[in-house]
Structure 1
Amino acid sequence: MSEKVRLVILITAQPGRGEEQVAAFERLAPVVRGEEGCLQYDMHQVSGDPDRFVLIEEWGSKAALAAHDVTAHMVAADAASPGFRAGPATVLEISAESVA
């Protein structure tokens, strides 16, 4: 049984502020990808909506994800995001195993 953790995170920026979300992600992504246990950290824009995004994360373990959540760069990012986000992100943990 895999200990990996996969997350799909739905993000909505305030109207017209999607570029701020993109810029924040571009600054944060290289740091997060360098964290121990980070296997994937990719954000995609929803087609036709410049203010909606899907972030896909994969971590080697729950411990790696827990450590990520309390890093200084994530605490700072979480504090800054209400300035351009429409509300809290929706975090969905998905099965590490494919259903088909």
Structure 2
Amino acid sequence: MTTKVGRLMAFTAKPGRGGDLAAAMLQVAEGLREVPGCELYIISQDSGDPDTVRVVEAWADEASADAALAAAANFAGDVSIESVLGMLAKPPERVDLTTLGGVGL
């Protein structure tokens, strides 16, 4: 069994910017559709706090995840890492996971 890499990310936008942040992250997700090793990249807006955007990721391996982040400027269209960070009220929260399986993988 190959162990996949998973991540849970939480991004907290500046007040009132949750919709902008979600739109930017959806654009990033579109760019990841053809990126090797990206197996799951789900964007969700917190129903209790629309300024919080959560991302669930699954990657074939750590190298794939790292390569996608390094290449993000080439596939994210008008969205840059700097523009996303500029919308945030605080640094993103990240939880690393060892993904074992389930529906969608």
What is the TM-score when the length of structure 2 is the normalising length? 0.82
The runs of at least 4 aligned residues of structure 1 exceeding 3 Å deviation read: none
Q: Which runs of 5+ in 1 are unaligned?
A: none
Find the counterpart in structure 1 of residue 47 from structure 2: 47
Q: Which amino acid aligns with 1:45?
A: Q
Are 1:97 and 2:96 counterparts? no
Q: Which runs of 5+ in 2 are unaligned?
A: none
User: Which of 73, 78, 95 is the matching residue for 2:81?
Assistant: 78
Q: Is the 8 A contact 2:6 2:99 kept in 1?
A: yes
Identity of aligned residues (%): 31
- How many pairs are equivalent? 98
Aligned alpha-carbon RMSD (Å): 2.0
**Cα deviation, residue 26, structure 1:** 2.2
What is the TM-score when the length of structure 1 is the normalising length? 0.85
Q: Residues of 1 paired with 2:8 and 2:72: CA distance?
A: 22
Q: Residues of 2 paired with 1:86 and 1:55: CA distance?
A: 17
Q: Residues of 2 paired with 1:48 and 1:72: CA distance?
A: 29
**Cα deviation, residue 3, structure 1:** 2.9
